[in-house]
């Protein structure tokens, strides 16, 4: 059974990561690149050549910046194939990790699954891990002002745990008292409130930030839908349902 779980998760996670990386190349990645222009000082750029480098190795700095300031910036993958490969790697790792959670949920639930039921599990995963947290902390484009990272991570983790628990109480428990409790648990982190910075704004235009937020949520929903369907289909194909019945 353990072999079936890992085989399903590895294959489904890799395929979902590959598919969503291709989608991002035409949706969120261009928006991120555009937003990074504003994050780094605005779309107006001045070209500087670093000593010892050929002309094709020029770097573009904000007109108010300097070469020294550019060199002190945190490292990030170069645009193009390097960035795409890092994105693929991150998406694949995330896909495999989330797939392991989905297949573990299939196993604990103990009922046969297929592509359709896997899709429903994927929707539930999207709701817990992305949609509910986005109500308080929507995806942020580069250059936006945000609250401290540990505070945001803590609230995100609380929201995921509460949403997953609430969905379980609503859909897998028949007592109406537990159903109401599930709704209350889902609402708890939003009653507490997500951490926000003292002031809202940043270098990125609000229209671009809003487009990035919407696109990110749609792409994430597609990611979870594909991942859920793949996990349900492959779990059944590899004999996971037979193991559950046995």
Of the candidates 144, 114, 138, the one whose C-alpha atom is nearest the C-alpha of residue 231 is: 114
pLDDT value of residue 235: 92
Angle at which helices 206-237 and 81-109 cross, to 10°:
50
pLDDT value of residue 141: 87
pLDDT value of residue 246: 55
The mean per-residue pLDDT over the stretch 106-129 comes to 94
Q: Which of 98-102, 204-208, 224-228 has the lowest mean pLDDT?
A: 204-208
pLDDT in tens, 128-186: 999 999 999 999 888 888 889 899 999 999 999 999 999 999 999 989 999 999 999 99
**Structure token pair of residue 7:** 């085989």
Distance, in Å, from the CA atom of 148 to the CA atom of 146, rounded to the nearest integer, reads: 7
pLDDT in tens, 22-50: 999 999 999 988 888 887 765 544 333 33
Give pTM, 2 decimals. Answer: 0.83
Q: Which of 47-51, 134-138, 217-221, 239-243 has the lowest mean pLDDT?
A: 47-51
47 DSSP β-pair partners: 60
- State how far the alpha carbon of 52 is from the alpha carbons of 55, 56, 60, 61, 65, in Å: 10, 12, 16, 17, 20
**Structure token pair of residue 189:** 């982190």
Q: Quick one: what percent of the chain has pLDDT higher than 90?
A: 57
pLDDT in tens, 51-105: 443 433 333 333 334 334 444 455 667 777 888 899 999 999 999 999 999 999 9
Distance, in Å, from the CA atom of 16 to the CA atom of 12, rounded to the nearest integer, reads: 6
Give ∠ CA 8-132-37 in degrees, rounded to 5. Answer: 90
Q: In the structure, what pLDDT confidence band is assigned to residue 245 with cuts at 50, 70 and 90? A: low
């Amino acid at each position: 059974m353990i072999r079936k779980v890992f085989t399903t998760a590895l294959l489904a996670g890799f395929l979902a990561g590959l598919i969503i990386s291709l989608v991002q190349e035409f949706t969120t990645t261009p928006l991120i690149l555009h937003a990074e222009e504003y994050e780094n000082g605005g779309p107006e750029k001045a070209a500087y050549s670093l000593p010892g480098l050929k002309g094709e190795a020029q770097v573009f700095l904000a007109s108010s910046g300097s070469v020294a300031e550019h060199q002190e910036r945190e490292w990030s993958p170069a645009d193009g194939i390097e960035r795409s490969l890092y994105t693929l790697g991150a998406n694949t790792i995330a896909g495999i990790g989330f797939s392991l959670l989905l297949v573990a949920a299939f196993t604990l639930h103990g009922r046969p699954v297929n592509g359709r039921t896997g899709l429903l599990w994927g929707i539930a995963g999207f709701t817990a891990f992305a949609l509910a947290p986005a109500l308080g902390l929507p995806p942020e484009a580069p250059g936006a002002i945000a609250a401290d990272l540990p505070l945001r991570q803590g609230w995100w983790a609380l929201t995921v745990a509460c949403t997953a628990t609430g969905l379980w109480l609503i859909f897998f428990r028949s007592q109406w008292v537990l159903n109401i409790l599930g709704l209350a648990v889902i609402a708890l982190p939003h009653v507490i409130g997500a951490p926000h910075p003292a002031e809202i704004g940043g270098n990125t235009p609000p229209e671009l930030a809003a487009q990035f937020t919407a696109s990110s949520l749609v792409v994430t929903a597609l990611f979870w839908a594909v991942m859920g369907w793949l996990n349900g289909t492959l779990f059944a194909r590899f004999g996971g349902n037979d193991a559950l019945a046995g």
